[in-house]
Protein backbone atom coordinates (compact mmCIF):
# COMPACT_ATOMS: atom_id res chain seq x y z
CA UNK A 1 0.00 0.00 0.00
CA UNK A 2 1.20 3.49 -0.80
CA UNK A 3 2.71 5.35 2.11
CA UNK A 4 1.48 8.91 2.53
CA UNK A 5 4.03 10.09 5.07
CA UNK A 6 5.50 13.38 3.82
CA UNK A 7 8.45 13.41 6.17
CA UNK A 8 10.07 16.60 5.00
CA UNK A 9 6.97 18.75 5.42
CA UNK A 10 6.03 20.65 8.55
CA UNK A 11 2.94 19.01 9.98
CA UNK A 12 0.59 21.95 9.37
CA UNK A 13 -1.82 19.89 7.27
CA UNK A 14 -3.57 16.57 7.71
CA UNK A 15 -3.99 15.55 4.06
CA UNK A 16 -6.46 12.95 2.87
CA UNK A 17 -4.90 9.67 1.73
CA UNK A 18 -4.59 10.45 -1.97
CA UNK A 19 -1.81 11.87 -4.13
CA UNK A 20 -3.02 13.66 -7.25
CA UNK A 21 -0.68 13.67 -10.21
CA UNK A 22 -2.73 15.04 -13.10
CA UNK A 23 -5.74 17.24 -13.78
CA UNK A 24 -7.90 18.16 -16.75
CA UNK A 25 -11.08 20.24 -16.60
CA UNK A 26 -13.22 19.01 -13.70
CA UNK A 27 -11.17 15.83 -13.26
CA UNK A 28 -8.15 14.74 -11.25
CA UNK A 29 -6.16 11.49 -11.41
CA UNK A 30 -4.17 9.89 -8.63
CA UNK A 31 -0.94 7.99 -9.07
CA UNK A 32 -2.80 4.70 -9.48
CA UNK A 33 -4.76 6.12 -12.41
CA UNK A 34 -8.02 6.44 -10.45
CA UNK A 35 -10.16 9.35 -11.65
CA UNK A 36 -11.90 11.84 -9.34
CA UNK A 37 -14.49 14.50 -10.08
CA UNK A 38 -13.14 17.66 -8.50
CA UNK A 39 -15.92 19.64 -6.80
CA UNK A 40 -13.50 21.63 -4.68
CA UNK A 41 -11.17 23.16 -7.31
CA UNK A 42 -8.28 23.57 -4.87
CA UNK A 43 -10.74 25.59 -2.73
CA UNK A 44 -12.26 27.80 -5.40
CA UNK A 45 -8.97 28.26 -7.26
CA UNK A 46 -9.10 26.36 -10.56
CA UNK A 47 -12.31 28.03 -11.66
CA UNK A 48 -11.74 27.27 -15.33
CA UNK A 49 -10.86 23.66 -14.53
CA UNK A 50 -7.43 22.08 -14.33
CA UNK A 51 -4.87 22.95 -16.99
CA UNK A 52 -7.25 25.12 -19.01
CA UNK A 53 -5.66 25.14 -22.50
CA UNK A 54 -5.74 28.94 -22.97
CA UNK A 55 -4.23 29.64 -19.55
CA UNK A 56 -1.66 26.86 -19.98
CA UNK A 57 -0.66 28.25 -23.37
CA UNK A 58 -0.34 31.80 -22.01
CA UNK A 59 1.90 30.62 -19.17
CA UNK A 60 3.96 28.44 -21.51
CA UNK A 61 4.51 31.30 -23.89
CA UNK A 62 5.35 33.79 -21.11
CA UNK A 63 7.70 31.25 -19.49
CA UNK A 64 9.78 31.28 -22.66
CA UNK A 65 9.88 35.09 -22.76
CA UNK A 66 10.22 36.59 -19.27
CA UNK A 67 9.29 35.16 -15.88
CA UNK A 68 10.20 37.80 -13.40
CA UNK A 69 11.48 41.31 -13.03
CA UNK A 70 11.54 43.32 -9.83
CA UNK A 71 8.99 46.03 -9.15
CA UNK A 72 12.01 48.33 -9.28
CA UNK A 73 11.23 48.28 -13.02
CA UNK A 74 8.12 48.42 -15.22
CA UNK A 75 6.72 45.31 -16.84
CA UNK A 76 4.18 45.04 -19.65
CA UNK A 77 1.61 42.83 -18.01
CA UNK A 78 0.94 44.14 -14.49
CA UNK A 79 -0.60 47.46 -15.61
CA UNK A 80 -2.77 45.67 -18.20
CA UNK A 81 -4.02 43.26 -15.56
CA UNK A 82 -4.64 46.09 -13.10
CA UNK A 83 -6.81 47.90 -15.65
CA UNK A 84 -8.81 44.71 -16.33
CA UNK A 85 -9.41 44.15 -12.63
CA UNK A 86 -10.40 47.78 -12.15
CA UNK A 87 -13.01 47.48 -14.92
CA UNK A 88 -14.44 44.33 -13.35
CA UNK A 89 -14.69 45.85 -9.87
CA UNK A 90 -16.47 48.91 -11.28
CA UNK A 91 -13.71 51.40 -12.17
CA UNK A 92 -12.03 54.34 -10.51
CA UNK A 93 -9.43 52.34 -8.63
CA UNK A 94 -5.90 50.98 -8.56
CA UNK A 95 -4.37 47.61 -7.74
CA UNK A 96 -1.54 46.25 -5.60
CA UNK A 97 -0.52 42.71 -6.58
CA UNK A 98 0.31 40.05 -4.02
CA UNK A 99 0.92 36.31 -4.11
CA UNK A 100 -1.99 35.14 -1.97
CA UNK A 101 -5.26 36.11 -0.36
CA UNK A 102 -3.75 36.77 3.06
CA UNK A 103 -1.23 39.16 1.53
CA UNK A 104 -3.95 40.97 -0.42
CA UNK A 105 -5.69 41.45 2.93
CA UNK A 106 -2.49 42.62 4.60
CA UNK A 107 -2.26 45.32 1.94
CA UNK A 108 -5.87 46.29 2.61
CA UNK A 109 -5.24 46.46 6.37
CA UNK A 110 -2.16 48.64 5.94
CA UNK A 111 -4.10 50.90 3.59
CA UNK A 112 -6.86 51.23 6.19
CA UNK A 113 -4.29 52.17 8.84
CA UNK A 114 -2.78 54.76 6.54
CA UNK A 115 -6.27 56.11 5.84
CA UNK A 116 -7.35 56.24 9.48
CA UNK A 117 -4.16 57.70 10.90
CA UNK A 118 -3.30 58.18 14.55
CA UNK A 119 -6.11 57.25 16.95
CA UNK A 120 -8.26 55.78 14.24
CA UNK A 121 -6.74 52.46 13.43
CA UNK A 122 -9.37 49.93 14.50
CA UNK A 123 -10.88 47.50 12.03
CA UNK A 124 -14.22 45.82 12.57
CA UNK A 125 -14.52 42.30 11.20
CA UNK A 126 -17.08 39.53 11.74
CA UNK A 127 -17.20 36.51 14.00
CA UNK A 128 -16.77 33.32 12.04
CA UNK A 129 -14.85 35.15 9.29
CA UNK A 130 -11.67 33.95 7.62
CA UNK A 131 -9.11 36.34 6.17
CA UNK A 132 -5.87 34.33 6.09
CA UNK A 133 -3.01 33.10 8.26
CA UNK A 134 -0.53 36.00 8.32
CA UNK A 135 -0.70 37.78 11.66
CA UNK A 136 -2.85 40.78 10.77
CA UNK A 137 -5.16 38.72 8.55
CA UNK A 138 -5.37 36.23 11.42
CA UNK A 139 -6.25 39.02 13.85
CA UNK A 140 -9.08 39.99 11.49
CA UNK A 141 -10.23 36.36 11.37
CA UNK A 142 -13.15 35.93 13.74
CA UNK A 143 -12.36 32.32 14.71
CA UNK A 144 -10.33 32.13 17.94
CA UNK A 145 -9.40 28.48 17.26
CA UNK A 146 -7.26 29.72 14.37
CA UNK A 147 -5.27 32.26 16.41
CA UNK A 148 -5.18 31.04 20.00
CA UNK A 149 -1.63 29.97 20.59
CA UNK A 150 -0.17 32.65 18.34
CA UNK A 151 -0.82 35.67 20.50
CA UNK A 152 -0.10 38.50 20.83
CA UNK A 153 -1.71 39.43 17.55
CA UNK A 154 -1.58 42.91 16.05
CA UNK A 155 -3.86 45.13 18.09
CA UNK A 156 -6.99 46.92 16.91
CA UNK A 157 -9.36 44.26 15.56
CA UNK A 158 -12.93 44.11 16.84
CA UNK A 159 -15.50 41.46 15.94
CA UNK A 160 -19.26 41.68 15.58
CA UNK A 161 -21.84 39.05 14.54
CA UNK A 162 -22.02 38.71 10.74
CA UNK A 163 -25.26 40.06 9.35
CA UNK A 164 -26.17 42.00 12.50
CA UNK A 165 -26.39 45.62 11.45
CA UNK A 166 -27.18 47.01 14.92
CA UNK A 167 -24.08 45.39 16.40
CA UNK A 168 -22.02 47.00 13.66
CA UNK A 169 -23.76 50.34 14.20
CA UNK A 170 -22.86 50.22 17.90
CA UNK A 171 -19.21 49.33 17.25
CA UNK A 172 -18.64 51.84 14.47
CA UNK A 173 -17.23 54.76 16.45
CA UNK A 174 -14.58 57.36 15.65
CA UNK A 175 -11.74 54.93 16.34
CA UNK A 176 -12.69 52.73 13.38
CA UNK A 177 -10.77 53.06 10.12
CA UNK A 178 -12.51 50.26 8.26
CA UNK A 179 -15.02 47.44 8.27
CA UNK A 180 -13.68 44.27 6.70
CA UNK A 181 -16.11 41.56 5.62
CA UNK A 182 -16.46 38.61 3.31
CA UNK A 183 -19.35 38.93 0.88
CA UNK A 184 -20.14 35.29 1.77
CA UNK A 185 -18.33 33.62 4.67
CA UNK A 186 -16.65 30.76 2.84
CA UNK A 187 -14.50 28.98 5.43
CA UNK A 188 -17.10 29.82 8.07
CA UNK A 189 -19.57 27.39 6.45
CA UNK A 190 -20.75 29.20 3.27
CA UNK A 191 -22.84 31.72 5.16
CA UNK A 192 -24.54 34.33 2.99
CA UNK A 193 -25.18 37.74 4.55
CA UNK A 194 -28.86 38.71 4.80
CA UNK A 195 -30.14 40.66 1.79
CA UNK A 196 -29.33 44.33 2.09
CA UNK A 197 -26.73 43.83 4.84
CA UNK A 198 -23.70 44.89 2.79
CA UNK A 199 -25.52 47.91 1.41
CA UNK A 200 -26.43 48.97 4.93
CA UNK A 201 -22.83 48.42 6.08
CA UNK A 202 -21.67 50.64 3.21
CA UNK A 203 -24.20 53.32 4.14
CA UNK A 204 -23.11 53.36 7.79
CA UNK A 205 -19.43 53.42 6.84
CA UNK A 206 -19.97 56.32 4.49
CA UNK A 207 -21.87 58.20 7.19
CA UNK A 208 -19.08 57.64 9.77
CA UNK A 209 -16.15 58.02 7.37
CA UNK A 210 -14.87 54.44 7.62
CA UNK A 211 -13.71 52.32 4.70
CA UNK A 212 -15.56 49.24 3.45
CA UNK A 213 -13.08 46.44 2.72
CA UNK A 214 -14.62 43.43 1.02
CA UNK A 215 -12.66 40.22 1.08
CA UNK A 216 -13.60 38.48 -2.18
CA UNK A 217 -10.67 36.08 -2.04
CA UNK A 218 -13.00 33.09 -2.18
CA UNK A 219 -16.12 34.64 -3.71
CA UNK A 220 -14.53 36.82 -6.39
CA UNK A 221 -14.10 36.37 -10.14
CA UNK A 222 -17.31 34.73 -11.21
CA UNK A 223 -17.69 32.07 -8.54
CA UNK A 224 -21.02 33.33 -7.20
CA UNK A 225 -22.59 34.16 -10.57
CA UNK A 226 -21.35 37.77 -10.68
CA UNK A 227 -17.79 38.98 -11.11
CA UNK A 228 -17.83 39.81 -7.41
CA UNK A 229 -20.37 38.74 -4.82
CA UNK A 230 -20.80 42.31 -3.57
CA UNK A 231 -22.31 43.14 -6.98
CA UNK A 232 -25.55 41.48 -5.85
CA UNK A 233 -26.01 44.56 -3.70
CA UNK A 234 -24.91 47.29 -6.10
CA UNK A 235 -22.63 48.91 -3.57
CA UNK A 236 -19.35 50.66 -4.15
CA UNK A 237 -16.73 49.31 -1.74
CA UNK A 238 -13.54 51.24 -1.00
CA UNK A 239 -11.26 48.22 -1.08
CA UNK A 240 -11.74 44.75 -2.61
CA UNK A 241 -9.29 41.88 -2.17
CA UNK A 242 -9.09 38.80 -4.38
CA UNK A 243 -6.77 35.87 -5.09
CA UNK A 244 -7.66 32.16 -5.53
CA UNK A 245 -9.34 32.13 -8.98
CA UNK A 246 -7.35 35.06 -10.34
CA UNK A 247 -4.57 32.90 -11.77
CA UNK A 248 -6.59 29.67 -12.12
CA UNK A 249 -3.94 28.02 -9.95
CA UNK A 250 -1.01 30.37 -10.51
CA UNK A 251 -0.38 32.05 -7.13
CA UNK A 252 -1.49 35.66 -7.47
CA UNK A 253 -3.63 37.98 -5.39
CA UNK A 254 -4.72 41.58 -5.69
CA UNK A 255 -5.86 44.40 -3.47
CA UNK A 256 -7.99 46.91 -5.39
CA UNK A 257 -8.79 50.28 -3.83
CA UNK A 258 -10.59 53.43 -4.95
CA UNK A 259 -7.93 55.76 -6.37
CA UNK A 260 -8.24 58.35 -3.56
CA UNK A 261 -7.51 55.58 -1.06
CA UNK A 262 -4.91 53.78 -3.18
CA UNK A 263 -2.97 57.01 -3.58
CA UNK A 264 -2.43 57.21 0.17
CA UNK A 265 0.38 54.70 -0.40
CA UNK A 266 3.63 56.28 -1.55
CA UNK A 267 6.70 54.47 -2.89
CA UNK A 268 8.27 52.44 -0.11
CA UNK A 269 5.06 52.01 1.91
CA UNK A 270 4.33 48.49 0.77
CA UNK A 271 6.02 45.91 -1.44
CA UNK A 272 6.48 42.25 -2.26
CA UNK A 273 9.15 40.68 -4.43
CA UNK A 274 6.91 38.62 -6.69
CA UNK A 275 3.77 40.76 -6.80
CA UNK A 276 2.72 41.51 -10.37
CA UNK A 277 5.53 39.51 -11.98
CA UNK A 278 5.00 38.73 -15.68
CA UNK A 279 4.56 34.95 -15.30
CA UNK A 280 1.77 35.20 -12.73
CA UNK A 281 0.14 38.09 -14.60
CA UNK A 282 0.13 36.09 -17.85
CA UNK A 283 -1.97 33.40 -16.14
CA UNK A 284 -4.34 35.97 -14.66
CA UNK A 285 -4.79 37.87 -17.93
CA UNK A 286 -5.60 34.64 -19.76
CA UNK A 287 -7.97 33.54 -16.99
CA UNK A 288 -9.91 36.81 -17.10
CA UNK A 289 -9.99 36.76 -20.89
CA UNK A 290 -11.54 33.29 -20.92
CA UNK A 291 -13.96 34.22 -18.16
CA UNK A 292 -15.08 37.28 -20.08
CA UNK A 293 -15.24 35.79 -23.57
CA UNK A 294 -17.19 32.76 -22.35
CA UNK A 295 -19.46 34.72 -20.02
CA UNK A 296 -18.26 32.50 -17.20
CA UNK A 297 -19.89 34.33 -14.25
CA UNK A 298 -23.33 33.95 -15.85
CA UNK A 299 -22.64 30.28 -16.63
CA UNK A 300 -21.57 29.78 -13.01
CA UNK A 301 -24.87 31.30 -11.87
CA UNK A 302 -26.84 28.90 -14.06
CA UNK A 303 -24.79 25.83 -13.19
CA UNK A 304 -25.00 26.81 -9.53
CA UNK A 305 -28.80 26.91 -9.79
CA UNK A 306 -28.80 23.41 -11.28
CA UNK A 307 -26.39 22.07 -8.64
CA UNK A 308 -28.35 23.64 -5.77
CA UNK A 309 -31.61 22.21 -7.12
CA UNK A 310 -30.11 18.71 -7.46
CA UNK A 311 -28.66 18.87 -3.94
CA UNK A 312 -31.99 20.09 -2.62
CA UNK A 313 -33.58 16.86 -3.86
CA UNK A 314 -31.38 14.76 -1.55
CA UNK A 315 -33.31 14.03 1.63
CA UNK A 316 -30.07 13.63 3.52
CA UNK A 317 -29.37 17.33 3.00
CA UNK A 318 -31.15 19.75 5.29
CA UNK A 319 -30.32 23.02 3.56
CA UNK A 320 -28.29 24.30 0.62
CA UNK A 321 -26.57 27.66 1.20
CA UNK A 322 -24.48 29.91 -0.97
CA UNK A 323 -24.58 31.51 -4.39
CA UNK A 324 -23.60 30.35 -7.85
CA UNK A 325 -21.00 27.63 -7.55
CA UNK A 326 -19.97 28.31 -3.97
CA UNK A 327 -22.41 26.08 -2.12
CA UNK A 328 -22.64 24.57 1.33
CA UNK A 329 -24.76 21.45 1.73
CA UNK A 330 -25.91 21.34 5.36
CA UNK A 331 -26.36 17.74 6.53
CA UNK A 332 -29.21 16.34 8.61
CA UNK A 333 -28.33 16.20 12.32
CA UNK A 334 -28.98 12.47 12.61
CA UNK A 335 -26.65 11.53 9.73
CA UNK A 336 -22.88 11.05 9.46
CA UNK A 337 -20.65 14.03 10.16
CA UNK A 338 -19.32 16.11 7.28
CA UNK A 339 -15.74 14.89 7.57
CA UNK A 340 -16.88 11.30 7.30
CA UNK A 341 -19.03 12.17 4.28
CA UNK A 342 -16.14 13.99 2.54
CA UNK A 343 -13.93 10.99 3.14
CA UNK A 344 -16.54 8.57 1.75
CA UNK A 345 -16.93 10.85 -1.30
CA UNK A 346 -13.18 10.74 -1.91
CA UNK A 347 -13.25 6.95 -1.78
CA UNK A 348 -16.05 7.02 -4.37
CA UNK A 349 -14.20 9.46 -6.63
CA UNK A 350 -15.58 12.87 -5.67
CA UNK A 351 -13.48 15.65 -4.15
CA UNK A 352 -15.34 17.94 -1.71
CA UNK A 353 -14.46 19.19 1.76
CA UNK A 354 -16.06 19.48 5.15
CA UNK A 355 -16.62 22.79 6.92
CA UNK A 356 -17.22 22.10 10.59
CA UNK A 357 -19.35 19.14 11.59
CA UNK A 358 -22.27 19.50 9.25
CA UNK A 359 -21.42 21.35 6.04
CA UNK A 360 -20.00 19.97 2.80
CA UNK A 361 -18.56 22.71 0.59
CA UNK A 362 -19.02 22.37 -3.16
CA UNK A 363 -16.98 24.61 -5.42
CA UNK A 364 -16.67 22.91 -8.81
CA UNK A 365 -15.11 24.42 -11.89
CA UNK A 366 -17.27 27.26 -13.20
CA UNK A 367 -17.27 25.40 -16.52
CA UNK A 368 -18.69 22.24 -14.94
CA UNK A 369 -20.91 20.31 -17.38
CA UNK A 370 -24.52 19.28 -16.55
CA UNK A 371 -23.50 15.58 -16.71
CA UNK A 372 -20.71 16.26 -14.22
CA UNK A 373 -23.20 17.86 -11.84
CA UNK A 374 -25.32 14.73 -12.12
CA UNK A 375 -22.34 12.47 -11.41
CA UNK A 376 -21.19 14.59 -8.46
CA UNK A 377 -24.60 14.76 -6.80
CA UNK A 378 -25.05 11.02 -7.41
CA UNK A 379 -21.80 10.26 -5.56
CA UNK A 380 -22.61 12.66 -2.71
CA UNK A 381 -26.07 11.08 -2.35
CA UNK A 382 -24.55 7.60 -2.28
CA UNK A 383 -21.92 8.69 0.27
CA UNK A 384 -24.64 10.09 2.52
CA UNK A 385 -26.62 6.85 2.30
CA UNK A 386 -23.62 4.53 2.71
CA UNK A 387 -23.50 2.46 5.86
CA UNK A 388 -20.83 3.55 8.31
CA UNK A 389 -17.48 1.75 7.94
CA UNK A 390 -15.96 -0.41 10.58
N1 LIG B 1 -9.79 35.40 2.62
C2 LIG B 1 -10.71 34.46 2.37
C3 LIG B 1 -12.15 34.86 2.32
C4 LIG B 1 -10.34 33.14 2.17
O5 LIG B 1 -11.27 32.21 1.92
C6 LIG B 1 -8.97 32.82 2.21
C7 LIG B 1 -8.53 31.42 2.02
O8 LIG B 1 -9.28 30.49 2.09
C9 LIG B 1 -8.04 33.83 2.47
C10 LIG B 1 -8.49 35.11 2.66
C11 LIG B 1 -6.58 33.52 2.54
O12 LIG B 1 -6.08 33.30 1.27
P13 LIG B 1 -4.66 32.57 1.10
O14 LIG B 1 -4.80 31.19 1.62
O15 LIG B 1 -4.40 32.64 -0.38
O16 LIG B 1 -3.68 33.37 1.88
> 268 Cβ partners below 8 Å, 6+ apart?
none
Mutation probe of ligand 1 site: the residue of 42, 102, 129 with most atoms within 8 A of C-beta: 102
Contact (CB, 8 A) for 244 and 186: no
pLDDT the model gives residue 386? 84
Q: In this predicted model, what pLDDT tens digit does every residue of 245-263 receive, in sequence order?
A: 999 999 999 999 999 999 9
Contact (CB, 8 A) for 172 and 179: yes
pLDDT the model gives residue 234? 85
DSSP secondary structure string, 279-319?
HHHHHHHHHHHHHHHTTHHHHHHHHHHHHHHHHHT-TTEEE
Selecting among 215, 228, 238, 358, the annotated active-site residue is 215
Whether residue 100 has its Cβ less than 6 Å from ligand 1: yes
Measuring CA to CA, which residue among 106, 220, 126, 131 is closest to residue 179? 126
For the cut 70, the answer to whether the pLDDT of residue 121 exceeds it is: yes
User: 272: helix, coil or strand?
Assistant: coil
Residue nearest atom 10 of ligand 1, based on CA coordinates: 131
313 Cα to the center of ligand 1, angstroms: 31
For the cut 70, the answer to whether the pLDDT of residue 390 exceeds it is: no
215 is catalytic: yes
Whether residue 138 has its Cβ less than 6 Å from ligand 1: no
Residue 129 Cα: closest atom of ligand 1: 3
Cα–Cα dist 44/63, whole Å:
25
Mutation probe of ligand 1 site: the residue of 130, 146, 249 with most atoms within 8 A of C-beta: 130
187 Cα to the center of ligand 1, angstroms: 8
For the cut 70, the answer to whether the pLDDT of residue 2 exceeds it is: no
Cα–Cα dist 87/56, whole Å:
24
Handedness of CA 59, 82, 177, 222 (dihedral sign): negative
Neighbour tally for 18: CB within 10 Å? 16
- The model's pTM is 0.97
Neighbour tally for 134: CB within 10 Å? 17
Measuring CA to CA, which residue among 300, 304, 387, 292 is closest to residue 340? 387
Measured in degrees and rounded to the nearest 5, phi and psi for residue 12 equal: -85, -15
Residue 253 Cα: closest atom of ligand 1: 15
Q: What percent of the chain has pLDDT over 90?
A: 96
357 is catalytic: no
Q: What is the rounded average pLDDT of the residues 21-47?
A: 98
Q: In this predicted model, what pLDDT tens digit does every residue of 217-256 receive, in sequence order?
A: 999 999 999 999 999 998 999 999 999 999 999 999 999 9
Measured in degrees and rounded to the nearest 5, phi and psi for residue 215 equal: -90, 105
96 is catalytic: no
pLDDT the model gives residue 1? 43
Whether residue 106 has its Cβ less than 6 Å from ligand 1: no
101 Cα to the center of ligand 1, angstroms: 5
Confidence of residue 86 (pLDDT cuts 50, 70, 90): very high
Q: In this predicted model, what pLDDT tens digit does every residue of 282-299 receive, in sequence order?
A: 999 999 999 999 999 999
DSSP E strand boundaries for the chain: 20-24, 27-30, 35-38, 93-98, 122-126, 157-160, 176-182, 184-185, 191-192, 211-215, 239-242, 253-258, 317-323, 326-331, 350-351, 353-355, 359-362
Whether residue 129 has its Cβ less than 6 Å from ligand 1: no
302 Cα to the center of ligand 1, angstroms: 25
Mutation probe of ligand 1 site: the residue of 41, 43, 101, 215 with most atoms within 8 A of C-beta: 101
131 Cα to the center of ligand 1, angstroms: 5
Q: What is the rounded average pLDDT of the residues 125-141?
A: 98
Whether residue 215 has its Cβ less than 6 Å from ligand 1: yes
- Cβ-based burial of 373 (10 A; exposed 0-12, middle 13-18, buried ≥19): buried
Q: In this predicted model, what pLDDT tens digit does every residue of 347-357 receive, in sequence order?
A: 999 999 999 99
Average pLDDT, the chain: 97
73 Cα to the center of ligand 1, angstroms: 29
From the DSSP assignment, how many helices (H) and strands (E) are in the chain?
13, 17
Q: CA-CA-CA-CA torsion for 33, 36, 40, 42, nearest 10 degrees?
A: 10
Beta-bridge partner residues of 328: 321, 361
Selecting among 39, 96, 115, 130, the annotated active-site residue is 130
Amino acid sequence: MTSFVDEGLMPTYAPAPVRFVRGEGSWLWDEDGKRYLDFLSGIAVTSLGHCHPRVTEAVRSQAGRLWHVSNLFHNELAPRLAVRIDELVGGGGKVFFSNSGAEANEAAIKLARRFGGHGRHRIIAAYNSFHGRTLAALAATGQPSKWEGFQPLPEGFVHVPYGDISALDAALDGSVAAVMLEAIQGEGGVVVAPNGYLAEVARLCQQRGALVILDEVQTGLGRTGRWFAFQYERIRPDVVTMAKALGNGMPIGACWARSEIADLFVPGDHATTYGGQPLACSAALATLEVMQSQDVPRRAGQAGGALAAALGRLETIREVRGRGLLLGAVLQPDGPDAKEVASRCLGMGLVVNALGKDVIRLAPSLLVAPEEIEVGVGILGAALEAAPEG
